Amino acid sequence: MALLNIAEPGQSPIRTQPHKHALGIDLGTTNSLVASANSEGPFIIADENGEALLPSVVAYQNQEEILVGQEAYKLSDAISSVKRLMGRGHADVAHKLAYKLIPADDGGMPLIETSAGPKSPVEVSAEILGKLAKRGQAKLDAEIDGVVITVPAYFDEAQRQATKDAARIAGLNVLRLLSEPTAAAVAYGLDKKLQGNVIIYDLGGGTFDVSLMRLEKGVFEVLATGGDTALGGDDFDRAIARWIEEQSGQETSQQNLSGLNAIARETKHALSEHSEAEITFNGWSGKLDRQTYYSLIDSFIDQTLKACRRVLRDAGMKNEEITDVVMVGGSTRSPRVQEKVSDFFKQELLNELDPDQVVALGAAIQADILVGNKYDNELLLLDVNPLSLGIETMGGLVEKIIPRNTTIPVSRAQEFTTFKDGQTVMSLHVLQGERELVEDCRSLARFELRDIPPMVAGGARIRVTFQVDADGLLSVEAEEMSSGVKSSVVVKPSFGLEDQAIEQMIRDSHSQAEHDRDMRALKENQVEALRIIEATESALANDADLLETKELKALQESLQLLRDSLESADTDLIKQRSESLNELSTEFAARRMDTEIRKAFKGKKIEEVDR
């Protein structure tokens, strides 16, 4: 007999399938986070040391050893702010970096020079995503069914595709790319029960987004969005760094740039709490007061406010129609940012939730829904495409098919025709941007429609359809209506990676998994052996006289054997000789301790020792 799952009218039926595990990942310019959600709500997943933030920094020590996060943070060859390179060409990089870029032959994303060879920004981002996913998997003690990764609302096709490529290399099942402001609105909308027209002001380390959203009864509709994918707290740091160089009369080399940027960052943090900060750099000492600091960063904050004005104008709204302003991103902790944003919108700001964590929390909520865990509290997210999408027409002009701030997913079509008599082929050039000329917009893809029946000029009807999915990724199809011949392209921008390259990287990650585990074990045992060697050598230098000649000789021989084993790649041999030396030195360690105790008590009375 079949059993029916019955529920009261208007209520969701009880679900009995097992709970699935999903993660929300905020892949940030400066720091990244991972979160998950359960029946009690979303929560941030910290590492084994209780640290929630993972610095978005990667250092390639060699082919086998890759450091990610705090381990790589202070290394001179560390790669930071790689998010700013995602989907960008070499010409788009306008500031000096602490690492060397190698221009790509095809004009696409530059490669980064590392000790393990040239690396794509996509590969570097994959290391960060992989580290976060492992953290989440360890916390949940389960396989991950899918992830939601957040991206700046103003990320274009190339940047979104590069993010998806990075996730694929990391072996992640991407449920959706979610705009960072939308994720923040989800977290605040559920936590604070917000309703009305809400501005999400998101200023991170390397990107700025502003979105105007309407929140009403579980529906999160993006009305307009704007921003700058190359503007953030990193620019505050660089402004301070330039000031230090000017004041000290020194120009920093690329090798020392990371150190100068670290000093600038510490100065920025200090000025959030104090009226002035003392700075020491390469023998120069000075002070930066808060007013001078404000003069250095006000132009960047003003750029964000210009974007806010554009968003209001695009949505046809005025300041007084805004019900709440939500502050997101670590850089919104700056008192100057809060002051100027509050003055602009003429209202108190919402910043109760941790601005570093709110995006990851919102992503976790959406991920939990998308894997099918929540049924009575589903959200409807109506996002928009940030930039117009169109096609090249005669004269190098751009015909916009999907205007910016159109709600996605969306499908739009428009008809075109041939220019010459007997034309049987049409070349289609897909573009993104707000300008009217092709040369001022970003090229996304080119493809051809062939076998068009020969007709007089203007006789053919070519229907071009643009489709944008929920991730903001585009596919384009062209069809000649009388004959039915078709051609299509799924937009893979030149800044993304080819499918073969991605598949190869994924295969490599699987095929090298055992080798990577072995190399990790070898490195760990080598480090432990070096610690034992150093401790033994120090003990012998100070207290060799506590040993008999035979004992000293045995210890020295064991020490040399362990030194010799470090030159091999034999993990078991290193481990065995480390244990052997430890055993031989146990009695020696006990004698040294007895000697130290006797020295400490020598000449003292029992009453003094008791005290």
Catalytic residues: 26, 83, 180, 202
Say whether 555 sits in a helix, a strand or coil.
helix
126 Cβ contact partners less than 8 Å away, ≥ 6 residues apart: 166, 167, 169, 170, 505
Extract the tokens encoding 226.
């704007």
Side chain identity at residue 302, one-letter code: D
Say whether 40 sits in a helix, a strand or coil.
coil
Phi-psi map region of 346: left, alpha, beta (phi>0 left; psi -120 to 50 alpha): left
For residue 453, cis peptide bond before it (omega within 30 degrees of 0):
no
**Tokens 């250095």 — which residue?**
296
Measured in residues, the chain has a length of 611
SS3 content of the chain, % helix, strand, coil (to 5): 40, 25, 35
CA atoms within 13 A on the CB side of 178: 33
For residue 199, the cross-strand partners are 212, 325
426-432/389-393 β-pairing = antiparallel
| Nearest Cα residue to 274 out of 262, 260, 261, 287 | 287
Instruction: Look at the alpha carbons of 598, 601, 602, 606 in this order and tell me if their dihedral is positive or negative.
Output: negative
**Tokens 């402001």 — which residue?**
181
Dihedral angle at the C-alpha atoms of 119, 122, 124, 126, nearest 10 degrees?
A: -130
Hey, how many other C-beta atoms are within 10 angstroms of the C-beta on 110? 23
598 Cβ contact partners less than 8 Å away, ≥ 6 residues apart: none
| Nearest Cα residue to 191 out of 13, 20, 350 | 350
CA atoms within 13 A on the CB side of 155: 34
